[in-house]
Amino acid sequence: MGIKEELGKKIKRMRINRGLTQEQLAEAVDVSQRTLSGIEIGENFVTAETLDKIIKALNTTSEELFATNHLKEEQELVKEIENNIKTISKNPTKLDILYNVTKSLIKE
């Protein structure tokens, strides 16, 4: 996967996590929804000006936006999380911490 695809995937994930539609983000960034769609699927690359607007609209930093080395497909993430839980379940202290973290995530 190239940088355009990785960056687009990260922008899409951040947009969704912040509860924004493509239309809302496109409007905030002052681009068409079609242009934003192209950015999110890796067909279009952003100008520095548009990138700056995306960072502001997503209320993030360039460091967070470009930290794409951890991106994985959802199924792969779920499998890794399940494996982590199996390992953590052998340690009562860590299991208690994991419980509290997951409980707080559900409350959001």
Q: What is the CATH number of the domain that holds 52?
A: 1.10.260.40
d(CA 96, CA 13): 29
Full residue range of the structural domain in which residue 8 is found: 3-66
Residue type, 20: L
The count of structural domains within the chain is: 2
CA distances to 32, 34, 87 from 7, rounded to whole Å, are 18, 17, 32
pTM for the full model? Answer: 0.64
Does residue 48 share a domain with residue 19? yes
* Same-domain status, 44 and 28: yes
pLDDT in tens, 39-96: 999 998 889 999 999 999 999 998 888 875 566 677 888 898 899 999 999 999 999 9
Cα gap 31→84, rounded to integer Å: 41
CA nearest to 60, candidates 102, 68, 87: 68
Do 57 and 13 sit in the same domain of this protein?
A: yes
